[in-house]
Every structure is written in structure tokens, then in C-alpha cells.
Amino acid sequence: MKSKGDFPSINDRPPEGSKPDGSPYRVLVVDDSMFVTKQIGQILTSEGFEVLAVAADGEEGLNKYKELYPNVDLVTLDITMPKMDGVTALEKIMEFDKNAKVVMISALGKQELVKKSLLLGAKNYIVKPLDRQKVLERIVNTLK
Amino acid sequence: MRVEYINPFVESAYNVLTEVLGGEVKRGNLFLKSATKPVLGVAAIVGLAGEVEGRVLFDMSKPTAIKIASVMNAEEMTVLDDLAKATISELANMITAQAVTKLHELGFKFDLTPPALITGDNMEVSDQEVEALIVPMETEHGSVEINVAVRERS
């Protein structure tokens, strides 16, 4: 009979969403698509991140960032949104907090806007369709 | 209508559907429809305006839309609720974005409208002065018709 000790532990790796002190990284997700916010939320919470808040447009995202500051470790920001687009919201978030860590979420074909965002201070970007590996890789690298 | 307008949509629909559904996707035969065409039940419509103008319709039956939304959300959905609708809109978004990148590379300049989702029974779409090219994509959850009616601005 095999005892537990016979199996190698595959779960030694700490979840990616934990800070060195064990508390979760806190993320603000800004996207006008309910599908995308849910998808990002699922990927992040499964790795131990905490989705602190969700906003459906740039204006709401900016307001939530200000409201939650300094408790937001990272923002995912969609580029195309109603009311205030992601690039404008990024600019305003960076004005408010020059150390903000923002990752842009973009559909293909928005290279110019992605470039502009990186120049404005976005730390990274992810092109849709989103997959788990791509999202985690970019976000974890940004937090390092 | 020139066939080179529809090819990027068919290619990117193939790429995106294969990626998000994870199963086999087959391309059906292209057909042309100049008269009024019935809509299958759920249609995401994206407008194009610029040197090229018109619209692209991603058309599918309601059960197909619900099944595709279920796979994309990794959960069983039974009704076309707000989340399912957002999912199908996002699918249209991803396909269009990829196709438009290709068309821009070919030198066509135009802007897009955000996708609008239309649902209902016995609907028809009429395109004036421009015929629609349709390519059905057969997925294991049912057919998704890529219906493109665009022309160069005169």
C-alpha cells in the first residue's frame, strides 16, 4: 500500500498572487465587457490574487483607483471603453500616482494605442483573446 | 463586392473560434446573397466606416450562442443572459479586431463601431445597394455565419 509520502508533492510552488508576506496582490479590473472582467477575475483569483474592485469604464476606473489608493497593487485597463477610454484613464491614473502599475488589455490591431500607453507609463499589455498563461505571465512580471 | 474583404474575416473567425472553443472548426462554402436574408436568431453586428464601408454580421442560432458562451465561460449556461450576450459580443470583437488588422495591412483604412447584439425570431437583414457574402463556419456547437456586406466609398 502506498502512503502519502510516496507521492511527490506538486504543490510546493506558492500561488503567484501572493506577496512575499503571504497576503494577496490586490487588483482593480477595468473593462466594459462583463465577459472579460469575469475571465480576468477567474484567472487571478485561482492564483490567489484578490480582485479588489471592477469598473465598467475609464471614468469609473479612475474614480475607483483614487478611492482605493494606496491599496491597489495593479490595474488591468481595457483600451476601448465608453465614457472615458483606457488611454485617457491611464494618463489620469499616472498623473494621480506616478508609481501606478497598469497593464493594458487590448484587442488586436491597436498597436498605436498600445505604444502610446507604454509611453504614458503602462507597464505591460495583453492582447485578447486572453488565456490563463498569458495573463499570469504578464501580470506577475509587472509586479516583480 | 470584392472577395478580398471577406477573406480576412473568415481567416480570423477560424483562428479565434479554434482558439476559444478548442475544437475543430470547418469552413463552409462561400455564398452570395443580394436579397433580404433571414437572421438565425442571435447576431452581433459591427459597422465599418472609412474608405471601406458597410457591416459585418456574426450570425448564429440561439442554442449555438448559448453553447459557445458556455464553453468560453467554462460553465454550463442555459439562457442567453447578460453574461452570455457580453461573451458573444466579445467574440465578435476579437474576430473583427484580427480581421481589421489584416485589412489595414493591405492598405484599407476605416474605423469600426463597437459590436451590437441583436436577438429575436424571424428577423431579416436588408442591405441596400450592396450584396452580402456569407461564409458559414461549422463548429461542434453549431454554425456561425460570417456575413459581410461592404463596399468602397464612392
ipTM for the whole complex: 0.77
Query: For position B76, what pLDDT does the model report?
Result: 95
B97 to chain A, any CB pair closer than 8 A? The answer is: yes
Q: Are A54 and A76 in contact (CB under 8 A)?
A: no
Distance, CA of B38 to CA of B35 (rounded, Å): 10
Q: For residue B32, what pLDDT band results from cuts at 50, 70 and 90?
A: confident
pLDDT of residue B140 exceeding 60, the answer is yes
Length of chain B: 154
For chain B, report the end-to-end CA distance as a whole number of angstroms: 13
Query: For position A109, what pLDDT does the model report?
Result: 75
How large a percentage of chain B has pLDDT more than 70? Answer: 97
Count contacts between A and B (CB, < 8 Å).
43
B95 to chain A, any CB pair closer than 8 A? The answer is: no
Q: Are B21 and B142 in contact (CB under 8 A)?
A: no
What residue segments make up the domains of chain A, in order of their start? 24-143
Q: Do B89 and A38 touch (CB under 8 A)?
A: no
For residue B101, the chain A residues in CB contact (below 8 A) are 108-109
Burial class from Cβ neighbours inside 10 Å (0-12, 13-18, 19+) for residue A92 reads middle
Q: Are A106 and A128 in contact (CB under 8 A)?
A: yes
Domain that holds residue B21: 3-152
Q: At A104, phi and psi to the nearest 5?
A: -85, 145
How many Cβ atoms from other residues are within 10 Å of residue A116's Cβ?
16
Instruction: Please report, as a single letter, which amino acid is at residue A38.
Output: K
Q: Do B90 and A109 touch (CB under 8 A)?
A: no
Q: Are B116 and B6 in contact (CB under 8 A)?
A: no
Average pLDDT, rounded, for chain A: 91
Domain count, chain B: 1
For residue A38, the chain B residues in CB contact (below 8 A) are 73, 83
Length of chain A: 144
Distance, CA of A59 to CA of A1 (rounded, Å): 61
Tens digits of residue pLDDT in A111-122: 889 999 999 999
Tens digits of residue pLDDT in A79-89: 999 999 999 99
Query: For position A144, what pLDDT does the model report?
Result: 84
pLDDT of residue A10 exceeding 80, the answer is no
> What's domain A24-143's superfamily in CATH?
Response regulator (3.40.50.2300)
What CATH number does residue B123 fall under? 3.40.1550.10
For residue B114, the chain A residues in CB contact (below 8 A) are 80, 82
* Of B4 and A7, the one with more pLDDT: B4
For residue B93, the chain A residues in CB contact (below 8 A) are 33, 107, 128
Measured in angstroms, the CA of A3 and the nearest CA of chain B are apart by 34
Q: Which of A34, A42, A128 sits opposite B94 (nearest CB)?
A: A128
DSSP secondary structure string for all residues of B32-44: EE-S-EEE-SEEE
For residue A129, the chain B residues in CB contact (below 8 A) are 16, 19-20, 94
Tens digits of residue pLDDT in A23-42: 999 999 999 999 999 999 99
pLDDT of residue B52 exceeding 60, the answer is yes
Distance, CA of A43 to CA of A5 (rounded, Å): 31
Q: Which of B90, B101, B104 sits opposite A36 (nearest CB)?
A: B90
Query: For position B125, what pLDDT does the model report?
Result: 83
Query: For position A3, what pLDDT does the model report?
Result: 56
- Low-confidence winner among A3-17, B72-86, B94-108, B127-141 (lowest mean pLDDT): A3-17
Tens digits of residue pLDDT in B70-115: 999 989 999 999 999 999 999 999 999 889 888 888 888 888 888 9
Q: Do A39 and B16 touch (CB under 8 A)?
A: no
Q: For residue A46, what pLDDT band results from cuts at 50, 70 and 90?
A: very high
Measured in angstroms, the CA of B64 and the nearest CA of chain A are apart by 17
